[in-house]
Amino acid sequence: MNDREKLLAEAGINTRLSHIGNDPADFHGFVNPPVVHASTVLFPNARTMETRGQKYSYGTRGTPTTDALCDAINELEGSAGTILVPSGLAAVSVPFLSFLAAGDHVLVVDSVYFPTRNFCDTMLTRLGVTVEYYDPMIGAGIEALIRPNTRLVHTEAPGSNTFEMQDIAAISAVAHQHGCIVMMDNTWATPVFFRPLDFGVDISIHAATKYPSGHSDVLLGTVSANAAHWQQLWDGNFAMGICGSPDDSYQILRGLRTMGVRLERHQESALAIAQWLEGRDDVARVLHPALPSFPGHEIWKRDFKGASGIFSFVLDVRSPEKFKAKAHAFLDALSYFGLGYSWGGFESLAVHVNLADRTISKAPAEGPVIRLQIGLEDVADLRKDLERGFAAAAAV
């Protein structure tokens, strides 16, 4: 560590987000790193070429642009190394493929991001890996599911769409006793609000597409490993030839600079709306880990430093034959909330969640689940928009 790095290591999160990654002194003082487009890198002589005896050797193996982002992520995650991949989904599939082999058994949380489940049920299964889903609330009880060939435990907290919390430290401790690798999809919290490696996780995953991007215009995934797992992750990724593009890497580093202040606003607005929803008669439940009423709230309070801007609520409908019609009426009446997938951008989004894939954490019985991504708009306007949705749903 040089003096600047030492100073930064002790600084607050927004100071670190402003200064981690590239050092302007390395490139003529320009504040941002250069966007290096590269395949070939030249060597000064045959000996250096033979030994790859210089920092950069080929575009797929990193450039000053991708290094700047990887260094920033390592600093945030406390990881030994980070790889960049073209999407958040690839950030899940690449480590699975890097660490698993035919005959292995893998435990995946039932409230997992649906495309992760699809990858497990199709490609992983086809390659001879046995996939088993477990209850997000299982905690140390996961021990009962570990078999002699269990190689990896995949966690995601809060869970996708229904936001179940997981006791990551307890799961990691038990998994490690049995020689399993622990992976966590930490997209919801970002390393600003939760640092998986501090809780025993070996591999931390992010869809940088979400909050690090912040503007709904970039796809990128990051996978960060502790020292014990870094080499195998790097080797697996290198074998597959996957890498992040220089332009996307640049945009994500740019997004990190403002991510702390954006998250503060997402957190505050989402909590205000969640509390307001909780007080309404037409809402059965609000699924937000920062609400004391939410099962798992105690874990969130114990382990997380904050909450981001995405949560769900259950519309109080009761008659299942009306779930879909009321959910659609609600969504169709919204103006500021766009109907779209993904989240983490500056604009609010709403979606009627499909939980048909769940085998353990099943869909609530009271009504349809509507997921809200609270953007950077003014809360009063968002509330008015949601009120139009409730009125439309009531009229069905």
Ligand X SMILES: *Cc1c(COP(=O)(O)O)cnc(C)c1O
Q: Which stretch binds ligand X (CB under 6 A): 14-22, 204-212, 295-303, 383-391?
A: 204-212
Residue 32 · residue 254 · CB < 8 Å: yes
Q: Which stretch binds ligand X (CB under 6 A): 49-57, 71-79, 86-94, 243-251?
A: 86-94
Among 33, 62, 81, 88, binds ligand X (CB under 6 A): 88
Task: At 58, list the tokens.
Answer: 């080929």
What is the footprint of ligand X within residues 140-169 (CB under 6 A)? 156, 160
What is the footprint of ligand X within residues 95-134 (CB under 6 A)? 113
Nearer to ligand X, 74 or 308 (CB): 308
Nearer to ligand X, 307 or 317 (CB): 307
By the rule CB under 6 A, 342 interacts with ligand X: yes
CA max distance for the chain: 77
Q: Which residue sits closest to ligand X, CB atoms considered?
A: 88
By the rule CB under 6 A, 251 interacts with ligand X: no
Q: Which stretch binds ligand X (CB under 6 A): 37-45, 81-89, 315-323, 373-381?
A: 81-89
Nearer to ligand X, 89 or 142 (CB): 89
Q: How near is the Cβ of 210 to ligand X at its closest, in Å? A: 6
Nearer to ligand X, 89 or 307 (CB): 89
Residue 79 · residue 223 · CB < 8 Å: no
Residues that bind ligand X (CB under 6 A): 87-89, 113, 156, 160, 185, 187, 207, 209-210, 219, 221, 342
